[in-house]
Amino acid sequence: MQRLPAGSAEINGSNPSWLERNLQNFQWFLLIGLLMIARGLWGAAVSKLPFTSATIYLVVGLLLGPLALNLFTVDPLGGAKVIEPIAEIAVLVSLFSAAIKMPVPFTVARWMPAIRLAWLAMTLSVVLIAAFGWFVLDLPVGGAILLGGILAPTDPVLATDVQVRHAGDNDPLRFTLTCEAGLNDGSAFPFILLGLGLLGLHELGELGGRWLAVDVVWATIGGIATGCACGASLAYLSAALRKYIPKHEMLDELLGLGLIGLSYGLALSAHTYGFLAVFAAGVALRQTELRLIHAPINREGLLEPKPDEAHAPAVVPTAPTVSGGALVFKEHIERLSELTLILLLGGAASGSLFDLRLWSLAFFLLVLARPLSVVASMIGSGIGKRATTITAWFGVRGIGSIYYLTYAINHGLPSPVAVELINATLAVIIASIAVHGTSVTPLLKRFWRS
């Protein structure tokens, strides 16, 4: 779990009564169980519908929550200490699942559009959202920047319909959107800490010097380096075992989970960004495995065929790999966490959402801020107008924003600001699931055919 340095304020206790009333209630388990069975029986047929499974979960949650039948309620403020680790696990698993599906080999030209989106478009989005929070929602400067950091990153959990579909998927649009979601969950953290610092909850240093040196430069570079080292090391170790002890069977699912925990824990212990570390670990694991032990080699000892810098072909594994064996299990966890957290979202929606300012924020973010940020960051990227347009539209917000919100609450966010951010975040996520969930399938079929 991401933590502030020693001395940062923590929220003083929370009322767990909502958890006792709901998560320990047998109706909650019945609801989760029935929806899981229904989703399992439905199978792949849901992909043929004009809307996503997340849209279905949201409708169910809103119907059963306070806005309709009021069968269960969730208090995001009082239950933040419980919701944060659930969202954290969901994001971690989703980041790793996306990372181990990345095409091999890594090339700068292929990754550059996603890098632009994850840092340049992210920064522009934070600035625009913060300006809206300052001028329209009357938030303090720190709260406005915090709102930008919460809502700017796209979500790796709910965006599966526009992400890479299988290991080695070479579709450039899906690749760019997946990489963006994997990277910007880490690149958003400096803005979260900046917002908390301006609210007096995190040390920024004189003129923000500590924030720039530690929270921006060191934490970013250190997180990526830690993840790469962990992923590559596991790839070497598993390859050696399979080579020298051919009959030795490894539990790839546990190795994948262990890599998530190891890279995340090491990154946090070094005060770097764990989300970036986990994504980098997954990418390094797959890249190293397929390059060293499964990639076809020519007489010169090079990958065959030698990849073009911009459009390198995928390398297909010819033997078991940790990344391949862990993928199915991770996707099951991802679906379970998606279902649970969207139901919690429905239980948190209340009458306070009937505020025109909140929905104007959702409109501003999805229709103006996201497209403007993407178009500006993609100038000269070479991905084409059609891919840029679709990328500008499909900026799904979801579980990642819930995590950042509860993270801020659990680190001492004042209640008045917390309530404003809760309502704003819920409105944007609900709008994003509804709008993007119903438009992704028809738009991709109409404008993006492989």
Q: What is the pTM of this model?
A: 0.86
pLDDT of residue 376: 95
Q: For 160-188, give one letter per residue: b (16+ CB within 10 A) or e.
A: bbbbbeebbbebbbbbbbbbbbbbbbbbb
pLDDT confidence bin for 427, thresholds 50/70/90: very high
Q: Could you give the CA distance from residue 336 to residue 170 in angstroms, rounded to a whole number?
A: 27
Q: Could you give the CA distance from residue 136 to residue 211 in angstroms, rounded to a whole number?
A: 27
Burial label for 21, CB within 10 Å (0-12, 13-18, 19+), is middle
Q: Partners of 303 in the beta sheet?
A: 297
Q: How many CA atoms lie within 13 A of 152 on its CB side?
A: 36
Q: At what angle do helices 415-447 and 356-363 cross, to 10 degrees?
A: 40
What percent of the chain has pLDDT above 70? 81
Task: Note whether 46 and 109 are within 8 A (CB).
Answer: no
260: left (phi over 0), alpha (psi -120 to 50) or beta: alpha
Better pLDDT: 62 or 21 = 62
pLDDT confidence bin for 167, thresholds 50/70/90: low
pLDDT of residue 164: 63
Instruction: Provide the token pair at 34.
Output: 């029935």
pLDDT of residue 144: 97
Mean pLDDT of the 36-51 span: 71
Task: Note whether 401 and 159 are within 8 A (CB).
Answer: no
Write the CB contacts of 215 (distance below 8 Å, at least 6 apart in sequence).
189, 190, 193, 194
Q: Could you give the CA distance from residue 144 to residue 359 in angstroms, rounded to a whole number?
A: 16
pLDDT of residue 240: 87
pLDDT digits (tens, 9 = 90+) for 347-392: 899 889 999 999 999 999 999 999 999 999 999 888 888 889 988 9
Better pLDDT: 32 or 167 = 32
Compute the C-alpha angle 115/119/122, nearest 5°.
125
Task: Report, at the CATH architecture level, how domain 17-447 is classified.
Answer: Up-down Bundle (1.20)
Give yes or no for residue 128 having a pLDDT over 60.
Answer: yes
Better pLDDT: 43 or 140 = 140
pLDDT of residue 52: 80
Give yes or no for residue 15 having a pLDDT over 60.
Answer: no
Instruction: Provide the token pair at 217.
Output: 């430069």
pLDDT of residue 269: 97
Q: What is the 3-state secondary structure (H, E, C) of the chain?
A: CCCCCCCCCCCCCCCCHHHHHHCCCHHHHHHHHHHHHHHHHHHHHHHHCCCCHHHHHHHHHHHHCCCCCCCCCCCCCCCHHHHHHHHHHHHHHHHHHHHCCCCCCCCHHHHHHHHHHHHHHHHHHHHHHHHHHHHCCCCCHHHHHHHHHHHCCCCCCCCHHHCCCCCCCCCHHHHHHHHHHHHHHHHCHHHHHHHHHHCCCCCCCHHHHHHHHHHHHHHHHHHHHHHHHHHHHHHHHHHHHHHHCCCCCCCHHHHHHHHHHHHHHHHHHCCCCHHHHHHHHHHHHHHHHHHHHHCCECCCCCECCCCCCCCCCCCCCCCCCHHHHHHHHHHHHHHHHHHHHHHHHHHHCCHHHCCHHHHHHHHHHHHHHHHHHHHHHCCCCCCCHHHHHHHHHCCCCCHHHHHHHHHHHCCCCCHHHHHHHHHHHHHHHHHHHHHHHHHHHHHHHHHCCC
pLDDT digits (tens, 9 = 90+) for 218-258: 999 999 999 999 999 999 998 888 888 877 778 888 888 99
Write the CB contacts of 434 (distance below 8 Å, at least 6 apart in sequence).
55, 58
Write the CB contacts of 29 (distance below 8 Å, at least 6 apart in sequence).
none
pLDDT confidence bin for 326, thresholds 50/70/90: low
pLDDT digits (tens, 9 = 90+) for 61-94: 999 889 998 888 889 999 999 999 999 998 998 8
Residues 119, 125, 131, 132: what is their CA dihedral angle, to the nearest 10 degrees? -160
pLDDT confidence bin for 45, thresholds 50/70/90: low
pLDDT digits (tens, 9 = 90+) for 97-121: 888 888 777 888 889 999 999 999 9
Average pLDDT, whole number, for the chain? 83
pLDDT of residue 13: 43
Mean pLDDT of the 428-449 span: 83
Task: Note whether 397 and 151 are within 8 A (CB).
Answer: yes
pLDDT of residue 16: 47
The structural domains of the chain, with segments of one domain joined by +, span 17-447
Give yes or no for residue 211 having a pLDDT over 80.
Answer: yes
Among 203, 211, 210, 213, smallest CA distance to 411 is for 203
Task: Note whether 129 and 149 are within 8 A (CB).
Answer: no
Better pLDDT: 298 or 202 = 202
| Ranges 13-17, 35-39, 282-286, most confident | 282-286
Task: Note whether 428 and 397 are within 8 A (CB).
Answer: yes
pLDDT of residue 364: 97
Among 126, 132, 172, 176, smallest CA distance to 151 is for 126
pLDDT confidence bin for 424, thresholds 50/70/90: very high
Give yes or no for residue 7 having a pLDDT over 90.
Answer: no
Could you tell me how far CA 287 lies from the centroid of its own chain?
21
Mean pLDDT of the 299-311 span: 42
- Tracing tokens 């699931």 back to the chain, one arrives at 433
